[in-house]
Structure 1
Amino acid sequence: MGQFIYAAVFVGAFVLFCALILKNQRRVVSGSDFSVAGRSLSTTQVSWVIIGTLVGGVSTIGTVQSAYDHGVSAWIFTLGSGISCFLLGCFFATALRREQVTTVSELLGRYFGQGFQYYCSVLNSCGMFIHIIAQYLAAMAILNSIFHFPLPVSLFITMVLMGFFVMSGGISGAGMVGKIKFFLLYAIMIVCATIALIKGGGITGITAQLPKTTDFFNFFSNGIETTTIDIISMITGVLSTQIYLQAIFSAKTIREARNGAFLTAIVIPPIGILGIIVGLFLRANCPELEGNSAQALPFFFQYTLPPVMAAFCSAVLLLAVLGTGAGLILGVTTNIYMDGIRRLFTKEPDHSLTIVRLCMLAVLILSGGVVLAGFSTTILRWSYLSMGFRGASVFAGLCIVVFTGQKRFSPMVRGILYFLPVGYFILAVL
């Protein structure tokens, strides 16, 4: 009976989230509306789009897990995200919004040639595609833990839900998902951190109970070099990812674009601090999680919250994972359409929205097929390459465009830009 109530609350909460998203969707009538919302997003809407994809399972589940294992170094992801968005607002947003493009590859193609545009678009899409697979697996794990579905059923449900989140509203829909995710995740993490501090006797009480074998309050516990590389990878990766930059392209004005990036930079890092508090509390009080720390946050729900609240929180986690996956799918789809299929037409066709949605359906099916085929484990081993691929293929060229303002570049510069992703891949493999 308890399991039935847990599942019923989970389903009810999730249906409520879907209803809120549908109710607040703006009408989409063209491919431009779908991809860049007619360039009409306000400051907060720009922020919601970025948050909708950037803040998800890694910012919550992953941060709590990393804090349990390593301590405050778990702040790297959310801190790096905040720094990235700050730099985006300071140095990149003005140039990006002024160019009136839809994809970052399109922007680079104007300066380095159409061939580089296609090359960059393919690598950027591959990096995002790898992360889509990871979101599938995370969502399926949540569904399996509650309903014990077989893999094909969980996969199908995940595919349908991701498609629902992104197909109906495009970039505006991603913004609405981000808005709902932000308030719910923040509320949950504040409640969890507060409970952890009360039960643990405050920071001093938690600190006193931590194992003495590890320095949990050393931000560079993984090594200064490793930590620095991780932060740089985060910064370059975020500043090179289509869906985050797509929010800037969709802004109403340059000012809205810049302020949206700054707002995001302010609100993301604190959620990492809340996750660290929860992770350290669990490390101090639940040593049985060692070796299975990926379950730390769901365990905390069950360990400290009433079943109804725990089910609600699990539904929010599923929303966060699906929202991230949907945003990545939107980014890949935009690249496919704008840097590939769109080039077949002299102007945007009347049926462009249908074409975009068919592209999105293809990405959904292909990513689901990869999971179903059993390649997911191999892909996850290579998932760390995702952010690096995006940075290596986009970031150097983007910096050259933004900071030099030149229109023509020598073949040597273009050759270096072509080689960077290959060089990164070789170094990562070695």
Structure 2
Amino acid sequence: MLYKITFAITFFLISLLSIKLSTVKSASGFSVADRSLDYTGVSWVIIGTLVGGISTIGTVQTAYTHGISAWIFTLGSGVSCLLLGLFFAKGLREAGVVTVSEYLGRAFGSRFRSYCSIVNSVGMFIHIIGQFLASIAILQAVFHFSAGWAVLLTSIFIGVFVINGGIAGAGLIGKIKFFLLYVIMLVSAGVALYRGGGLENILSCLPPGADMLSLRHYGLQAASVHMASMVVGVLSTQIYLQAIFSAGDVKEARNGAFLSAAVIPPLGLLGIVIGLYLRANFSEISGGTAQALPFFLYHSFPPLIAAFFSAGILLVVLGTGAGLLLGVTTNIYNDFIDRKTKEHHLLKPLSLLRALTLFILFCAAMLVFTGLDSAILKWSYMSMGLRGSAVFVGLVILVFFKKLSRSRWVVCLLYLIPVVYVLMNINLVGES
């Protein structure tokens, strides 16, 4: 009971701080923070959305089952942010747009803008489901809630974070998440090493034949595809690029991407240490492998500390879900609705943005039940690849081969790539 009470109080206080300090008063402030973020603000938005249930719960889960291949997500995230700062930040920030589909639409036409926006939004929507799965894992581990109650609470928390703060709120949550998450993962990895007798001893206690230190158990082809999906997906995702659009200038945009590239990959290594320790010492985890990190926290720390850490992980997960939801909302509003509201004055822009956010969140909550048994990382890789299929090639063309944007064949290719990707990966999430 002490564990549950401490968890609830901790999460409530941290959430209250985030909500109180992040308020938004206009549609521009909601979507791009009036283009005023410095490099740390840009980085907080990227980290706040990119580092979530996949980088923590999903990484520990995959390290438990497949070893070092669990680093693919956070390593790919770091590489993507590095490339974003080196090659893409300047052109994106100088474009003065709100969505990446708007940026591509200027070169490839308004129809492609709509097409790209839809595919990109579906990709982010799938990733939101991954955050739901991670949140459910925590809430069920702590309170033993049914899936229905866990989904309802997750929806409420994510909705409050987005509606209140917009992009600036995502940045504030990202800042809190960064410091909180590093403390949690550093301490947890340290405890795992201490309890396991050091890394060498942990590795020696792994099940014979598990082959946890190579990619063969995971599959070299799968690892290559997932790494490519990560790099391409991050460079193609509205909410990560929205952080670049929100920067005060090109320098702040670039430095924010570089800071993100430096701090995200180490979190994956810490998660791998925890996952390998669990695999070496626990042949089974009650509730399934998605419970690996909550299981470790509960059994490795005194109730007060375990509850504090678990509440922090839940905030990390919900913050990512909130950022992704914001990205979907921004896409749909700016690429489909904004023109009509200007013509017919249906609702104030900020009110409409908030109403749209709630509708998308409701759809995610309903659809999450179709994937409750799926591995968290599989949802994310599918999501990343789908986003990349719609955006990445067009983005590369505009940055490096701008003359090709005038070719009709190139435009036809851009329409075709997402269709081919879906046909090739349609059974990805359903595979065991």
Tell me the CA shift for residue 368 of structure 1.
2.1
Q: Which amino acid in 2 is paired with 1:94?
A: K
Hey, what does 2:398 align to over in structure 1? 401
Structure 2 match to 1:77: 73
TM-aligned CA distance change 1:258 to 1:347, over 3 Å: farther
Q: Distance in 1 between matches of 2:147 and 2:223?
A: 36
Report 1:253-332 matches (<5 A): 253-289=249-285, 292-332=288-328
How far did residue 260 of structure 1 move? Answer: 0.3
Q: Supply the distance in 2 between the matched residues of 1:253 and 1:23 (Cα, whole angstroms).
A: 27
C-alpha distance in structure 1 between counterparts of 2:30 and 2:387, whole Å: 23
Find the aligned partners of 1:316 and 1:300 in 2 and give their Cα distance.
14
User: Is 2:349 the partner of 1:352?
Assistant: yes
Please tell me the residue identity of whatever aligns with 1:162: I
Show the counterpart of 1:375.
370
Equivalent pair of 1:220/1:227 in contact (CA under 8 Å): no
Summarize deviations over 1:403-429 as a string: whole Å, max 9, x none. 123485121111110011111111223
Which residue identity is paired with 1:375? T
Cα distance change on mapping 1:192 and 1:87 into 2, 3 Å: same
Find the counterpart in structure 2 of residue 186 from structure 1: 182
Query: Displacement of 1:36 after TM fit?
Result: 0.1
How far off its partner does 1:219 sit? 4.5
Looking at structure 1, the residues matched to 201 and 352 of structure 2 have their Cα atoms a distance apart, in angstroms, of 58
Which shows bigger deviation, 86-95 or 276-285? Answer: 276-285
Query: Paired residue for 1:387?
Result: 384
Q: Which residues in structure 2 correspond to 1:22-421 (within 5 Å)?
A: 22-25=19-22, 27-219=23-215, 221-289=217-285, 292-345=288-341, 351-371=348-368, 374-377=369-372, 383=379, 384-406=381-403, 408-421=405-418
Give, in angstroms, the shift of residue 170 of structure 1: 0.3
Does the alignment pair 1:19 with 2:21? no
What amino acid maps onto 1:82 in structure 2?
A: G
Query: AA paired with 1:411?
Result: R
Question: Unaligned stretches of 5+ in structure 1?
Answer: none
- In the aligned structure 2, how far is the partner of 1:73 from the partner of 1:222? 7
Contact kept, 8 Å, 1:130 with 1:379, in 2: the verdict is: no
With over 3 angstroms needed to count, the CA separation of the structure-2 counterparts of 1:403 and 1:162, relative to structure 1, is: same
Taking structure 1 as reference, are residues 32 and 95 closer, same or farther at Cα in structure 2, changes over 3 Å only? same
Deviations 1:386-415 (A, max 9, x none): 222101111001110111234851211111
TM-score by length of 1: 0.93
Tell me if the contact between 2:93 and 2:247 (Cα under 8 Å) persists in the aligned partners.
Answer: yes
TM-score by length of 2: 0.93
SS state at 2:284 partner: helix
Q: Note the C-alpha offset of 1:344.
A: 1.8
Residue 87 of structure 1: how far off its partner (Å): 0.4
Deviating beyond 4 angstroms after TM superposition, the runs of 4 or more aligned structure 1 residues are 345-350, 377-382
8 Å CA contact 1:59–1:77 kept in 2: the answer is yes
| 1:95-128: CA deviation from partner (whole Å, max 9, x where unpaired) | 1001000000000000000000000001111111
Contact 1:49 1:175 in 2 (8 A): yes
Return the offset for 1:152.
Answer: 3.9
Superimposed CA distance per residue, residues 203-256 of structure 1 (whole angstroms, 9 cap, x where no aligned partner): 222122222312222255434333222111110011111100000000001000
1:291/1:145 CA distance change after superposition, 3 Å: closer
Does structure 1 retain, via aligned residues, the 8 Å contact 2:54–2:134? no
DSSP 3-state at the match of 1:272: helix
Cα gap change, 1:246 to 1:216, in 2 (>3 Å): same
* Deviation at residue 136 of structure 1 after TM alignment: 2.3
Aligned-partner Cα distance in 2 for 1:307–1:391: 42
Structure 1 residues 292-345: Cα deviation after superposition (integer angstroms, max 9, x where no partner): 322221111122111111111111121111111111110000001100111225
**Considering only aligned residues, what root-mean-square deviation do their CA atoms show, in Å?**
2.2
Between the aligned partners of 2:278 and 2:256, the Cα distance in structure 1 is 35
User: 8 Å contact 1:342–1:348 — kept in the other structure?
Assistant: no
Kept in 2, the 8 Å contact 1:71–1:276? The answer is yes
For 1:347 and 1:48, the matched residues in 2 are separated by 35
1:260–1:345 distance in 2 versus 1, CA, 3 Å:
same
Shift of the alpha carbon at 1:129? 1.1
Asked whether the 8 Å contact 1:102–1:246 carries over to 2, the reply is yes
SS of 2:384's equivalent?
Answer: helix
Q: Deviations over 1:32-65 (max 9, x none)?
A: 1100000000101100101111111111111112
Q: Report the CA distance between 1:370 and its aligned residue.
A: 2.8
SS of 1:251's partner is coil
